[in-house]
Structure 1
């Protein structure tokens, strides 16, 4: 789960950066609007003056202000387009954060479900053991002489106990087998090695996040990530981004991940 926290930390940083950039653009946009409004007031005043008493000097000033106004309006349009772009980026970041939080929630729920399942199976095993003890207490073996009828009853009871014990033993073995399978699944879950066919949409979102992330930040996160997962992510990133992240990682971890990547690439080439 540490790598998910790392991804969320990156997205939170990106969110703050985009929000700060958007606020700066809005401030610059407002300043330009105020400057344009000031120019328009002066131009309106010059129009009145020129109409009352024509002057080349005022006309030249008017044309100069008009040219400046047109230039500012073009700059304003550019700022507004940039602001819209930042708003769209901010929306995508919010979506990414929500997607990662959903993945985090699913993994947490699955982990709890597995742990609960194991606890329940342990409780069932205890119940079976108690049941076994009851059989042993109810039908104790005796060493004193018995009549033919008693021996017959004893033999019948022993046969019944043996049958019950076999059934209980079989059930116990099945429970133990299931418990071992659940334990292995839980270990796999804790290693968080996603299979593409199971988490493809979420994994693609994760790829998009790392493609946009700062390489140093991403490298720090991958230092704490399972090497197989890190290799899988890097193989799906843009080549330049993948190389930048690898170079920012711990040397030993980077070497380990690089070996896994090379092995996976070789497997891809061998695949029909």
Structure 2
């Protein structure tokens, strides 16, 4: 009887595909996230974009039938250039997956997150809206109005149009070289404004218990580049999914260099823009 009750209250399969992208600087966090997905939501499909990581470093996931690992090798002039490229490269991955009609619901996660419960609990949100994200539309600065650590897109025409326009906005912005690490959030906001006028996108604003840092949250989000260092409660959570325990949760993201111009350019993303039909 107890087993029947447990089964009755389990979330139904929401046909979710998770996309995750990180470079070698965030490999440790990426592996923690992937292990947390495999433990707490083992039935979702996962697509991983791993930039400049050794292929052997993700062997434990490549052997799982529901995981797909895309290894990409690329040379950069500076570590910060790699950071900018990795941020922008995920936009193309999200668009490619969202245009795939075989994928019903797409959930993009940043590496600095932990999945603590079954992601199928997001199923009702995908039914409610085209676009699920933590949004603050009244923020003064456009690049802070949408937070990219968790992003959900269902299989609607509006969602497909949004990710296509996201690339178009990136193309326009890169008419001039850019050095902002928020280029993904800024271009997504501009794409949302435009497509919302044309389609009327249904936006679901992600709040606890879906994301956050409380005990009962589904996805434990944090910002490795900001407030993770020194957070021992977070370190304890991270160490549940590590083979080598961490003493702290430091950011490995290289900062913008002083006295040296390092930019994201169209040419750096040329192969991606070409595949998307912009070149």
Q: TM-score range by the shorter chain?
A: under 0.3
Q: Is the strand fraction higher in 1 or 2?
A: 2
Q: Is the helix fraction higher in 1 or 2?
A: 1
Structure showing greater radius of gyration is 1
- The TM-score, its normalising length taken from structure 2, stands at 0.20
- The TM-score, its normalising length taken from structure 1, stands at 0.21
